[in-house]
């Protein structure tokens, strides 16, 4: 189900610019974190308080068609605002290069989180430094493909 509503671009200009370039080029430009050359994805979600559509770039951490969303915010003391958005409404859209699809976000704990954390640090080593420099435990979500509408699992997963 496409996310519908009014899009509220991020107040952070570098975030806004990357989303704009990524989407306007059909996922062919603005697809890396510039200083590293490492790939990023764009996650579209609904704002927990505003109800508006929000979009953020995140590092691409992919494994067998599923993706991690690491709420690192560069090791900042507070979680990013998008953390509460995903907790309030887990239905998101993920754009990876030219491909865009509906996904459901689920916060990870325990061994499953540990496995994804390893994948995340392998994809983007600075996550380990971010965890060292902050007292909070950095949350990790897994984004899993939603079954297509009409699929017998579609209702069960909502």
Applying CB under 6 A, the residues found at the interface with ligand F42 are 10-12, 14-15, 18, 33, 40, 47-50, 52, 54, 56-59, 70-73, 80-82, 84-85
* Residue 86 β-bridge partners: none
Residues 78/136, Cβ–Cβ less than 8 Å:
yes
Shortest Å distance, C-beta 16 to ligand F42: 9
112 Cβ partners below 8 Å, 6+ apart?
A: 142
From first CA to last CA, the distance across the chain in angstroms is: 11
Shortest Å distance, C-beta 151 to ligand F42: 30
Indicate the residue whose CB is closest to ligand F42.
47
Shortest Å distance, C-beta 156 to ligand F42: 28
Per DSSP, which regions of 47-157 are E strands?
53-59, 62-63, 66-70, 91-96, 99-107, 140-145
For ligand F42, give the closer residue by CB, 8 or 155.
8
φ, ψ at 26 (rounded to 5°): 65, 30
For ligand F42, give the closer residue by CB, 58 or 142.
58
Shortest Å distance, C-beta 43 to ligand F42: 8
For ligand F42, give the closer residue by CB, 84 or 104.
84
Nearest Cα neighbor of 132 from 80, 74, 83, 78 is 74
For ligand F42, give the closer residue by CB, 58 or 143.
58
For ligand F42, give the closer residue by CB, 71 or 143.
71
């Amino acid at each position: 189900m496409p996310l519908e509503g009014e899009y509220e671009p991020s107040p952070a200009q570098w975030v806004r610019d990357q989303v704009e370039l990524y989407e306007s080029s059909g996922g062919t430009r603005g697809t890396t974190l510039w200083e590293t050359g490492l790939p990023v994805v764009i996650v579209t979600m609904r704002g927990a308080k505003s109800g508006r559509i929000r979009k953020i770039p995140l590092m691409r951490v992919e494994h067998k068609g599923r993706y991690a969303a690491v709420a690192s915010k560069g090791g900042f003391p507070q979680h990013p605002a998008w953390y509460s958005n995903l907790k309030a409404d887990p239905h998101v859209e993920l754009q990876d290069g030219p491909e865009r699809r509906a996904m459901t976000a689920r916060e990870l704990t325990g061994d499953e989180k540990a496995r994804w954390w390893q994948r995340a640090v392998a994809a983007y080593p600075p996550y380990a430094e971010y965890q060292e420099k902050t007292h909070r435990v950095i949350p990790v979500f897994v984004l899993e493909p939603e079954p297509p509408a009409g699929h017998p699992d579609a209702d069960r997963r909502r």
